[in-house]
Amino acid sequence: MLPLQGRVTEYAVRLECNSSVLAVFGSTVRLLIGTLFALCVAALVGLGTTWIALTQGQAFGGLSVGAWTAWPRHGTAGIDPYARAMVARSGELPVGSGDGLAFQARHDDKGAALDGRCDVAVSGITPQARYWTITLYDPDGGLVRNSVARHGFTSHEIVRRANGTFEITVGPRSRPGNWLPTGGIERYALVLRLYDTPIGAATRGREVTMPSVMRRSCP
């Protein structure tokens, strides 16, 4: 049997060893918790970015002018993964880089969502292009059903002013001139496709003049 002093020394050694083990264990637990927290944050950021890209049409490399946004790299081999996923989700074939560029507007110039129950004026001029079309889609990418079966205009049929500008009234009620019916849907998007245009991936927003998108009246 050990004398009292020996037992005290042995107890102290054991206590020191246990403290070291607990310290190492605590450090390991803190490291695991920190790693799990970092992984959760990274997963949330990645999933959030993907969700925005897929549902809001906000991929990288966008060219924004007023209410309009285009993605010049969509029709190229340099398309980013988020944009690729967005195209796959919509099922829409992007305009090839050698053919033209498509601009999309889901909000007016003040940032308000386009509401099919309101009258919206799309007016001004388009960027240089050999030919262009403007089409109205529902939030799922389908054509909006309406009584006159009109879903858009082309540059060949649009009625212009004497100075070359035009105005399209987008709304639920019939209007004289260029009227694009919404069918009274709550939300919609406008897509302006420019064919044979000099606008490309290197273009900056200040170099492009796009039609304004302004809400005129709303019930």
The answer to whether 165 and 178 are in contact (CB under 8 A) is: no
The reply to whether 31 and 64 lie within a common domain is: no
Query: Which DSSP helix (H) or strand (E) runs through 154?
Result: strand 152-154
Same-domain check for residues 10 and 92: no
- For 105, the domain range is 60-217
Task: Identify whether residues 144 and 128 lie together within a single domain.
Answer: yes
What CATH number is given to the structural domain containing 99?
Answer: 2.60.120.600
Same domain, 177 and 74: yes
pLDDT of residue 219: 73
- The three-state secondary structure class of 166 is strand
Q: Are 108 and 186 contained in the same domain?
A: yes
Say if residue 95 is in the same domain as residue 111.
yes
Q: What is the pLDDT of residues 6-60, one digit of tens each?
A: 444 555 545 555 566 556 666 776 777 878 777 777 667 655 555 455 445 444 5
pLDDT in tens, 98-142: 568 889 999 999 999 999 999 999 999 999 999 999 999 998 888
Could you give the 3-state DSSP secondary structure of residue 100? strand
Specify the pTM. 0.66
The pLDDT score that the predictor gives to residue 17 is 57
